[in-house]
Amino acid sequence: MAVLIDNLQYCNFSEKIFRQLREGGVDAIHVTIAYHESFREMIANLERWNRWFEQFPTLIMRGTQAHHVREAQQTQRTAVFFGFQNPSPIEDDIGLIEIVHQLGVRFMQLTYNNQSLLATGCYEDEDSGLTRMGRAVVAEMNRVGLVIDMSHSAERSTLDAIDHSTRPIAITHANPDWWHPALRNKSDTVLKALTNSGGMLGFSLYPHHLNNGTNCRLTDFCEMVAEAADRYGAENLGIGTDLCQDQPDSVVEWMRVGRWTKDIDYGEGSASNAGFPPQPDWFNDNRDWDNLRDGLREVGFSRHETDGILGENWLNFYKSSFGPA
């Protein structure tokens, strides 16, 4: 039986959402456990997840290896894989890369919108590419099996990461900019380089990344996926919804601002709407995956291709990515 994987969520997790994951048949999720957190603050987030694993052992389980996805499916649970949307938890210490991998983290973005010690974010005016530390970090991430994620990174930095990495990288949650020209969405040049090197693209359902935002139609989204499959190959495509279900609007300020500025950075929103935008009506929560499956089939994907996009492609990527080189 094909697996269902959502390779990026940042929900305000609760028993309700864990039960909805089961109702939707979601076998694995990659969850964000750090935006601007220090190492110690990230550890506190891991502690919270450990309590959830203890409280809800029939609904969720900790995921660190690819086979945990099948184990979760067979036991009717959801495997939870951890990732960072910013390298802040490793601070300026390359030795912490192996430590966070040992703690179960499997994805790390090199930037979150801004310039980091490693690379340039997509909101900066100038993109200088990978830094000296960035190149060293990429090599260390390759060594231990921590996946490089460039979802919020600028063009040159992303191309540098693809070129410098000896293992395929991921863009876990973004869409092509030829479909919708958000700063966060990726160029054809980047997506060709990503997929030609065996990397994975996870399509985002976050409204700011969608053509027509909240009003994006399911058919339009699925037709975009079909065009991407024609350009890059269906085997390199998956889903990373960027679902932020039940998060209070105040969390947007932490995501955008962190501690780096005193001013509110509205980022992908606007001053009049700085909170989370409503989801499209065809994907409100984890019970709506059948809508996406039906939409992909209706635009011409085979069952095999649909199964790949909804999870099997990510599973194959997990198998080759999470262990040491």
pLDDT tens for each residue of 165-181: 999 999 999 999 999 99
Predicted local distance difference test score (pLDDT) of residue 65: 98
The tokens describing 189, both together, are 């040049």
**Prediction pTM value:** 0.96
Q: What string of DSSP letters covers 255-281?
A: HHHTTT-SS---TTSBTTB-SPPPPPT
Side-chain half-sphere of 1: how many Cα atoms within 13 Å? 13
Surface-to-core class of residue 176, CB atoms within 10 Å of its CB (0-12 exposed, 13-18 middle, 19+ buried):
buried
Across residues 262-278, what is the average pLDDT? Answer: 68
Residue 270 has pLDDT above 50, yes or no: no
Q: Given this model, what pLDDT does residue 272 score?
A: 46
Q: Where are the domains of the chain?
A: 89-319
pLDDT band of 268, cuts 50, 70, 90: low
Distances (CA, A) of 206 to 25, 31, 209, 307: 21, 15, 6, 21
Q: Is the dihedral of CA 274, 280, 281, 286 positive or negative?
A: negative
pLDDT in tens, 184-236: 999 999 999 999 999 999 999 999 999 999 999 999 999 999 999 999 999 99
As a CATH number, domain 89-319 is 3.20.20.140
What distances in angstroms separate CA 299 from CA 7, 109, 280, one per listed residue? 23, 32, 18
Are 69 and 45 a contacting pair, CB within 8 Å? Answer: no
User: What pLDDT is attached to residue 269?
Assistant: 53
Please count the other Cβ atoms lying within 10 Å of the Cβ belonging to residue 129.
19
Predicted local confidence at residue 261, as pLDDT: 87
The pLDDT of 34-48, averaged and rounded, is 97
Q: pLDDT tens digits for 42-52?
A: 999 999 999 99
Half-sphere exposure of 84 (CA within 13 A, CB side): 30
Crossing angle for the helix pair 188-196 and 218-232, to the nearest 10 degrees: 60
